[in-house]
Amino acid sequence: MRKIRVLVADDHNLIRAGLRLVISQESDFVVVGEAENGRQAMEKARELKPDVVVMDIGMPDLNGIEACRQILESLPDTQVVMLSMHSDEGYVLRALKAGARAYLLKDSAEADLARAIRAAASGKSFFSPAVAKLLLDDYMRKLERTGAEDSYELLTPREREILQLVAEGKSSKDVANLLKLSVYTVETHRANILQKLNLKSVAELILYAVRKGIIS
């Protein structure tokens, strides 16, 4: 079986060593390289073409978000697992916009890292349970305080189905194949969903899905 090739990028030696240990314990993973800042991560990724990059969000000389954006520009098949100290949606949303597939909190990294890498490698999203909980809490509190209606109720069953598939990382073509619809119909549904939920991008849609507990 082909092993999942992982690049680890973190500016702290201790953390890097810890991550490498956790990853190498899994028999289907192999650590192909390490980087200690964003720029180096970009260079190593271009050189080693890993399946997954495990990247710290706050690094000197090009932070993780910017490095993620630039890596995915040149290597669209590579997936990025973002590591962060922060569970706030500001970071999560920007990481998603940059194209990160998974978002892990550092304090729970060792427990969830293997799951996150596997999910990302197969093109699925993964969020630390604490992040998902915080996003959901923020969302519920806002609904409660402003008395706004849950816009999820506005969606048709078909739209909810498509929302989940898109949030899981499927392309319009994949969704069309799965549901036996035309790509054009799926695109129309997607546009309607974004409009009904008042969202601007797929990144925001993923965030929304995490909040609603549609994906984990």
Partner 1 sequence: MSSPSQHADLSRTLRWVLVGAFLGLVGLMLVAGIAALSDLNHLHDTELTARHSFLQRTQAISVLCLSIESYNQTAERYAASPEPTHPDLDRMEHLRSEITTVLASYPGGRESDDVDALHAIDDLFAQQRSLFEQMFTWPPEQRRLRAVATIHRDIEPLQISILEWSDRLRSSGDRELHTADQAMLAQFSSVQTSLTRSLVLALGSGLVLVLASMLYILQLERQTQGRYLELAHSRGELERLSARLVDAQESERRNISRELHDEVGQTLGALLVDFGRLSASLSNAPPDVRGQVERMKAVAEGSVRSVRNLALLLRPSMLDDLGLVAALEWQGRETSRNSGTEVDVRAEGVPETLPDAYNVTVYRLVQEALNNAARHSGARNASVKVTCDGGRLVVEVRDDGRGFDPKHTRGLGILGMEERVRRLGGRLTIDSQPGRGSAVRAELPLEPNA
* Contacting residues toward partner 1, per CB under 8 A: 12, 14-15, 17-19, 21-22, 25, 57-58, 63, 65, 85-86, 88-91, 94, 106-107, 109-111, 137-138, 141-142, 145-146
Task: Tell me which amino acid residue 209 is.
Answer: A
User: What's the min distance (Å) between Cβ of 31 and partner 1?
Assistant: 14
- CA neighbours within 13 Å on the CB side: how many for 161? 11
Residue from 108, 99, 103 nearest 79 by CA: 99
Whose Cβ is closer to partner 1: residue 33's or residue 38's? 38
Instruction: Name the token pair of 179.
Output: 């549901």
Residue from 94, 30, 32, 107 nearest 67 by CA: 94
Distance (Å, whole) CA 169 – CA 102:
11
User: What's the min distance (Å) between Cβ of 133 and partner 1?
Assistant: 12
Whose Cβ is closer to partner 1: residue 1's or residue 14's? 14
User: What's the min distance (Å) between Cβ of 191 and partner 1?
Assistant: 24
Distance (Å, whole) CA 184 – CA 190:
10
User: What's the min distance (Å) between Cβ of 93 and partner 1?
Assistant: 9
Whose Cβ is closer to partner 1: residue 143's or residue 178's? 143
Whose Cβ is closer to partner 1: residue 49's or residue 106's? 106
